[in-house]
Amino acid sequence: MFQKGKAYKVKVEASPGEVGFGRATIVDKIGEKILVQLKTSREANKVLPKGTRLWFVNESSENSFNGMWATSVLGAQLFSGRTALICSAPRLEALLQRRRTPRASLDVNASIRLEGDKSNFHIRTQDISSSGIALVSQIDLPANIDVGKNIVVNIEAKTGRIQTTCRVIRIEKNWLANKTVLGVEMIDMDDDSSENLMNLLKLLGLDDKPEVEKQPTTGKLFGWKGEQRGEKEDRSFIKKTGEISPPDVEPS
């Protein structure tokens, strides 16, 4: 299945929540183990520490598999004068569908900053849903932007400015495309931004989807501020989906 000399696209989990992509060439096999050399947009032969997880994600019709096969780095050794990673035998892992809300492509200017910080980092949107946003940058994100942090996202949409406080769910570094994708979950926004977001979703054709079909009686997307003003918060969205999930941000 995994042939010597073949190159496959791989996803690499460098640390929890931080994912990168590269191209792995299988240079040799030792029993069930495989020797791999990993190429990224920045390094011709990237060496990963022991225990790093890799997934073969290439879905090309030229390959005899279609899914995600997982392996782990066991060590490294020299092969033809270059360092190769010793990896465990790949095992098939079932693909999980994380997306619970419909999304639409959206390529517009945006900016992000940490809560309480005045310094903005310019970025672009990739897609948007009623619960989350995928953002993309061709340069490295600021070091203080990390998984679990709350950030303020400003989007310049056709329907007006959308400012929302979000929690960073995923950071994916695509070494092949030399870009970073940031997946965030919306957790708070003001009334004007909520109305602009609802109008944007309608403009993008998401108004007839189940997740945005039933709007709160307060006129806001999720009724985030309702209880603070003594209004009854509408939780129909949360009851319907079970939870608010971030967008699926698998890089292409």
* Greater pLDDT, 67 or 219: 67
Tokens of 78: 């020299």
CATH number of the domain at 111, please.
Answer: 2.40.10.220
How many whole angstroms separate alpha carbon 33 and alpha carbon 163? 49
**Tell me: the pLDDT tens digits for 65-124?**
445 788 999 999 999 999 999 999 998 875 444 555 688 899 999 999 998 888 899 999
> Which of 40, 63, 93 corresponds to the end of one domain?
93
**Tell me: the pLDDT tens digits for 32-65?**
999 999 988 778 899 999 999 888 864 444 444 4
How many whole angstroms separate alpha carbon 72 and alpha carbon 13? 10
* Greater pLDDT, 93 or 137: 137
Asked if residue 242 is part of any domain, the answer here is no
The pLDDT of residue 165 is: 92
Q: Could you tell me if 130 and 209 lie in one domain?
A: yes
- Segments forming the whole domain that contains residue 143: 103-225
Q: Could you tell me if 133 and 72 lie in one domain?
A: no
**Tell me: the pLDDT tens digits for 178-217?**
789 999 988 888 889 988 998 999 999 886 444 433 333 3
Q: Could you tell me if 176 and 66 lie in one domain?
A: no
Q: Tell me, what DSSP letter sits at residue 220?
A: S
How many whole angstroms separate alpha carbon 45 and alpha carbon 84? 8
Asked if residue 244 is part of any domain, the answer here is no
pTM of the prediction?
0.51
Q: Could you tell me if 84 and 107 lie in one domain?
A: no
Q: Could you tell me if 57 and 127 lie in one domain?
A: no
